[in-house]
Amino acid sequence: MKDLKTIRGMPDLYDLDIERISRVENICMEVFKSFNYQEFRTPIIENKSLFQRSAGETSDIVQKEVYEFDDRNGETLCLRPEGTAGLVRALITNGLLSEEIKKYFYLGPMFRYERPQKGRKRQFFQAGVELIGEGSSKSDVEIILVGKTILDKLGINFCLEINYLGGEESLNSYRTYLREFLQENKDSFEEKLYSRLQRNPVRAIDSKDENIQKVIKDAKDITNFLTDEEKQLFAETVDTLDQLKVDYKINTNLVRGMDYYTGTVFEYTVDSLGAQNAVIGGGRYDNLIKELGGKDLPAIGFALGIDRLSEIISLEGKTKDVFIGYAEAKSVSYAQDIGNKLRLNNGSLVIENYLGNANVSKQLKKANSLGFKFVIIVGQEEQNTKIFKVKNLTQDEETTLNEVELMEFFNG
RNA sequence: GUGGGCGUAGCUCAGCUGGUUAGAGCGCUGGUUUGUGGUACCGGAGGUCGAGGGUUCGAAACCCUUCGCCCACCCCA
């Protein structure tokens, strides 16, 4: 039976789960398109080296969370752990980069080999946007607004946290400072932890570990290492958010897991998801495109956890419209004919043509338990007279209509 | 990778310090009701008690192993 199990952290999705997920997906797409972003689909499998070069060789994602395998000609491939690198690769591969501003979105499954817990699966679904070719605060603000619009439309209470990491030089001097600072406090950490922190010192500042927090709270924060120009850019972004009345919290401890982030970074968090409380995370990555071999273009984007959001939205009651039952078996085809006329007449209706063997009484029972609002029973009588009884299950009313009236009845 | 909790019907769970035939509610299904639902009543199906091994006269229960789920660390969306 082992071969009939799903892979750990990769559940089958159906019923309510998938209803929730597709509601989030639909709203994401709707909002992306309303901001005039274009859809992009890249393969789920890429060369592993792409992620080593983008997310970073030392990042946890690449070090221990990538599903990798050799294909038959010996290349090391992997299941994508995130979406940005693949999209940037595709823009370069297809020669789509120019001075013009480009706006793309994507949506699909990502894979990371992690211990599953609340809000964390091994196959999970992300939607994301990337705005390429604009480095000013205007683009920061737009990307932040796209995220906010989605969360608003989903009716979710959230908190926006932002920070500014600075460009390569600022970030490197901050890293150097942190390494030295950690070295001075080396005795406070275990060997293993210490070497991990040395490898990625910025990680220490948003650690939940009490021990680390106690030490790191005396360290200087990133703002001490930003250039005047960088401070100015961040101030512009923050000012614009104020003007637009977008609430935010500056969190100088906010850092991101991928090495490619520079400049503005942000996270939308919620409080009902336990430890995995980030539902949207993103930021500026002004060096990534160049480093992967493309033009030297600034860019900013975010990724959104579709399944995380799907866990916390409320689902409005879905309505199914018409259940068409039959009185005698030979009337089924006529019932299907009526059903299709109704569908052609109004494509947004959900119409079930009953195909089972239950009698009329059972059919009514089924229609009710399946959540249909109207029932039409079609039989010899209806076929002869072309007059139908439309039963409203919620109000216990029956309306008698001819075919033309029937079409009108369901036309709005 | 490290902790803690948990696997019994499709779902939510009960099942005492080991005791003979495995329980409830919900759902499903048949009937009361052969062209009209919701409520009610009566019946039915459905379980190698996660898997493998061990202890025992006897294991859903105790021990070991393993797989999975949940939560947290870590990491991140």
Judge if the beta carbon of A302 is closer than 7 A to nucleic acid strand B.
Answer: yes
What percent of chain A has a predicted confidence (pLDDT) above 90? Answer: 67
Q: Which residue is nearest to nucleotide B67 (CA to C1')?
A: A2
Say how far residue A262 (Cα) sits from the centre of its chain: 22
Q: For residue A2, what pLDDT band results from cuts at 50, 70 and 90? A: low
pLDDT of A139 above 90: yes
Residue A379 CB in 7 A reach of strand B = yes
Q: Which of the four pLDDT bands, split at 50, 70 and 90, describes residue A377?
A: very high
pLDDT score for A210 = 76
In this predicted complex, what is the ipTM?
Answer: 0.85
First to last CA, chain A: 50
Written as one letter, the residue type at A91 is L
Residue nearest to nucleotide B27 (CA to C1'): A369
The encoded tokens of residue A399 equal: 């309306």
Query: Would you say the C-beta of A280 is within 7 Å of strand B?
Result: yes
Per residue in A249-285, is it b (16+ CB within 10 Å) or e — as a string? eebbbbbbebbbbbbbbbbbbbeebeeebbbbbbbbb
Q: How far is the CA of A1 from the C1' of B60 (A)?
A: 21
CATH topology for the A320-409 domain: Rossmann fold (3.40.50)
For residue A124, give the amino acid letter.
F
Tokens encoding A312: 């916390």
Q: Residue A3: what pLDDT?
A: 66
Nucleotides of B under 7 A from a protein CB: 1-3, 27-31, 33-38, 48, 67-77
Domain locations in chain A as residue ranges: 15-166+226-310, 320-409
> Which residues of chain A between 230 and 249 are close to nucleic strand B, CB under 7 A?
none
Mean per-residue pLDDT for A111-126?
93
> Which of A12-16, A31-35, A262-266, A350-354 has the highest mean predicted lDDT (pLDDT)?
A31-35
A83 sits within 7 Å of strand B by its CB: no
What average pLDDT is seen over chain A?
91
User: What's domain A15-166+226-310's superfamily in CATH?
Assistant: Bira Bifunctional Protein; Domain 2 (3.30.930.10)
pLDDT (tens digit per residue) in A190-206? 777 777 778 778 878 87
Whether the predicted pLDDT of A412 surpasses 80: no
| Proximity of residue A311 CB to strand B below 7 A | no
- HSE-up of residue A163 (Cα within 13 Å, Cβ side): 21
The answer, yes or no, to whether residue A56 has pLDDT greater than 90, is no
Verify if strand B has an atom below 7 Å from the CB of A318.
no
Percent of chain A with pLDDT over 70: 99
Tell me the pTM: 0.90
Closest nt by CA–C1' to A5: B68
Mean per-residue pLDDT, A342-371: 92
Say which residue, A197 or A155, is predicted with more confidence. Answer: A155
Of the listed ranges A76-80, A133-137, A222-226, the least confidently predicted one is A222-226
Q: Label residue A1 by pLDDT band (50, 70, 90).
A: very low
A301: left (phi > 0), else alpha (psi -120 to 50), else beta?
Answer: beta
